Chain A
Amino acid sequence: MKPLLKRLGLQGRTAVTAVPYLWLLLFFLIPFVIVLKISFSTSQIAMPPYEPLLQWTGDKVMQIKLNLGNFAFLVEDDLYWKAYLNSIWVASVSTFFCLLLGYPIAYAIARSNPSARNILMLLIVLPFWTSFLLRVYAWIGILKNNGLLNNFLLWIGAIEQPIQMLQTDFAVYVGIVYSYLPFMILPLYANLEKMDLTLLEAAADLGCKPWQGFLKVTLPLSLPGIRAGCLLVFIPAVGEFVIPSLLGDPGMLMIGKVLWTEFFNNRDWPVASAVAIVLLLFLVVPMMYFQRAQDAEAGGVHR
């Protein structure tokens, strides 16, 4: 009786594991294999707009047509390289400013009254619950030539002519920092809040000034939080599409926009797939770092 039950229990476990596993394999992993496959195919005017890789050419001969042209195209046309490099640059600068802004905020909250902390953190994540698209849209009204910010600067007399801010790189940086700031603050706060404050007291007893204590104790201890926050901002920011298309210059090269254009405007699915595969190659290392950090944080390893 007992082994039977045990076996049943085990089967229950298998079923519980299998359901989410199969879902993710089918709808998350296999799609990437298909993207890889289509990135090697040739575009044609049909639906779907690409030629099959495998073809029966009569006489039971199967022909495999691998087309490396899409990748060669990405290398030859410097538009793609510039877009990749520019996206990585924009994402890096935005991540840096997110950290510069998010760290003091996370620190200030982590060192506030315990009763105030939860409310302050709720206020940090609250904007995240309202539409991302509409929050980016709000910046159009603030940054445009007769927008809030220019009107304010004119009113206090800091400038005499409105400054062009919308449709510049500056606007894209503001948009990314604004939208992703909660993602930076959350892991930083989780880290700083857990920190053992007696370490700082010990440092002070040993003659450390407060700023030395911060640099030598707090900052090194918060590195895991910094790493998690930066990855959480950097990786999605590289492929960002909405922010550069609403706030940036129409000619601004971002790879997310390029992929969108190849797919929707040029209807070149194979090239769009190749763009996605190369972007994925750029991001696979930071993603693996993130996964390891996430797994350690979620407490999966110690069991």
Chain B
Amino acid sequence: MNQGRNLFRTLVLILGFAFLYIPIVSLIVYSFNSSRLVTVWGGFSTKWYGALLHNDQILNAAFLSLKIAAISATLAVVLGTLAGLVLARFGPFKGRTLLSGLTTAPLVMPEVITGLSLLLLFVTMEQIIGWPAGRGMTTIVISHITLTMAFVTVVVQSRLSQMDDSLEEAAMDLGARPHKVFFLITLPIIAPALMSGWLLAFTLSLDDLVITSFVAGPGSSTLPMVIFSKVRLGVSPDINALATILVAIVAVGVAITGIMMARQQQQRERDAQMALAANQQMIESVKKG
């Protein structure tokens, strides 16, 4: 019976992961197809990668998208950490429910609504205070911060509520001021959460099509906007090459993060062992003495 259950579990996992990964693998395989017809195999070729390198439209859009993603992810981490800290540590206060609603709503809000509402805000602001003048990188960055800080808030809030707050309390008892406690104790402990929050915000920003299309102006086409306008006309092999490059970047990023985390884990274990050994030595010396 147990074996039957194991078999069922393995089967479910194999089918589930096949469903998740076959489309991605197919993108990669066909990026090396020399035929323009994408799904008809015409022999191995890397010519689409070469074509990509000479496509200025895609290269410019990719550069703009990377710039926007780096700026918005960084600011989203700052704002999202503050919001997560307030929600997890400040206890009940007036307006907490509204804040928590405002941080979770962007997670599920259909993007067409968020995009439209942000655009109308920018137009109104321009009429009233003259800023932001026109639409472009600034408006895209503001919109992406608003969208992605919600994700950072959730990550930080859940990390903080799992964290043992006795360390913070100990520091307070020893006389550290709140901001010192935050920078010396809390921040180093939640640093991995901030890192994954930043990466999440970065990817979401790099990937966003709908909100960006609403708030972008002429001349500020991001990578997803260029891809969408190309893909709407059908499959095109250089998009497959682009997808493969993006997948490779993600794979390398994940591998590096994984190795770093494993190293940190090892370091922590080594420290713990050394502390234990020192402790042992001390006990023995006390016994001898």
Residues of chain A at the chain B interface (Cβ within 8 Å): 9, 12-13, 16-17, 19-21, 23-32, 34-35, 38, 48, 101, 104-105, 107-109, 111-112, 120, 122-124, 126-135, 137-142, 144, 146-148, 151, 178, 181, 210, 231-232, 235-236, 238-242, 245-246, 256, 259-260, 263-264, 269, 272-273, 276, 279-280, 283, 287, 290-291, 294-295, 297-300, 303
With A16-B85, A24-B102, A131-B227 already in contact, 13 other A-B pairs whose C-beta atoms are closer than 8 Å = A21-B99, A27-B145, A34-B117, A34-B120, A34-B124, A101-B19, A105-B16, A134-B242, A140-B235, A178-B19, A232-B108, A297-B158, A303-B91
Query: Shortest Cβ distance from A165 into chain B, in angstroms?
Result: 13
23 residue pairs A–B, Cβ–Cβ below 8 Å: A20-B82, A20-B149, A23-B79, A24-B83, A24-B99, A27-B142, A34-B124, A35-B116, A48-B127, A105-B16, A123-B20, A124-B20, A127-B21, A130-B24, A130-B243, A134-B243, A137-B227, A140-B231, A147-B39, A232-B108, A239-B113, A246-B231, A299-B88
Question: Closest chain B residue to A190 by CB distance?
Answer: B158
Q: Is B246 an interface residue (CB 8 A)?
A: yes
The answer to whether A235 touches B116 (Cβ under 8 A) is no
Q: Is B289 an interface residue (CB 8 A)?
A: no
Residues of chain B at the chain A interface (Cβ within 8 Å): 1, 5, 8-10, 12-13, 16-17, 19-24, 26-27, 30, 37-40, 79-80, 82-83, 85-93, 95-96, 99-114, 116-118, 120-121, 123-124, 127, 142-143, 145-146, 149, 153-154, 157-158, 161-162, 177-179, 199, 203, 206-207, 209-210, 213-214, 224, 227-228, 231-232, 234-235, 239, 242-243, 246-247, 250, 253-254
Residue among B121, B146, B242 making CB contact with A23, cutoff 8 Å? B146
Residues of B within 8 A of A120 (CB): 13
The answer to whether A298 touches B154 (Cβ under 8 A) is yes
The answer to whether A238 touches B110 (Cβ under 8 A) is yes
Given known contacts A20-B79, A300-B157, A245 and B110 CB-to-CB distance under 8 angstroms? no
The answer to whether B82 touches A19 (Cβ under 8 A) is yes
Query: Shortest Cβ distance from A177 into chain B, in angstroms?
Result: 9
Question: Closest chain B residue to A49 by CB distance?
Answer: B123
Given known contacts A23-B79, A300-B88, A276 and B121 CB-to-CB distance under 8 angstroms? no
The answer to whether A25 touches B102 (Cβ under 8 A) is yes
Residues of A within 8 A of B157 (CB): 298-300
Residues of B within 8 A of A109 (CB): 13
Residue among A108, A135, A141, A236 making CB contact with B39, cutoff 8 Å? A141
Residues of B within 8 A of A294 (CB): 100, 104, 107, 154
Residues of B within 8 A of A144 (CB): 39, 235
Among A101, A104, A122: residue with most chain B CB under 10 A: A104
Residues of A within 8 A of B100 (CB): 291, 294-295, 300
Residues of A within 8 A of B105 (CB): 28, 287, 291
Query: Shortest Cβ distance from B258 into chain A, in angstroms?
Result: 8
The answer to whether B214 touches A263 (Cβ under 8 A) is yes
The answer to whether B116 touches A13 (Cβ under 8 A) is no
The answer to whether A141 touches B26 (Cβ under 8 A) is yes
Query: Shortest Cβ distance from A84 into chain B, in angstroms?
Result: 12
Query: Shortest Cβ distance from A13 into chain B, in angstroms?
Result: 6
The answer to whether B243 touches A17 (Cβ under 8 A) is no
How far does the alpha carbon of A9 sit from the alpha carbon of B111 in the complex, in Å? 38
The answer to whether B142 touches A141 (Cβ under 8 A) is no
How far does the alpha carbon of A124 sit from the alpha carbon of B21 in the complex, in Å? 10
Residue among A28, A239, A290 making CB contact with B102, cutoff 8 Å? A28
How far does the alpha carbon of A119 sit from the alpha carbon of B116 in the complex, in Å? 39
The answer to whether B232 touches A131 (Cβ under 8 A) is no
Residue among B40, B110, B154, B179 making CB contact with A12, cutoff 8 Å? B179
Residue among B104, B113, B228, B235 making CB contact with A290, cutoff 8 Å? B104
How far does the alpha carbon of A272 sit from the alpha carbon of B117 in the complex, in Å? 10
How far does the alpha carbon of A151 sit from the alpha carbon of B106 in the complex, in Å? 41
The answer to whether A259 touches B112 (Cβ under 8 A) is yes
The answer to whether A235 touches B108 (Cβ under 8 A) is yes
Residues of B within 8 A of A232 (CB): 107-108
Question: Closest chain B residue to A283 by CB distance?
Answer: B110
The answer to whether B120 touches A35 (Cβ under 8 A) is yes
How far does the alpha carbon of A101 sit from the alpha carbon of B87 in the complex, in Å? 33
The answer to whether B113 touches A279 (Cβ under 8 A) is yes
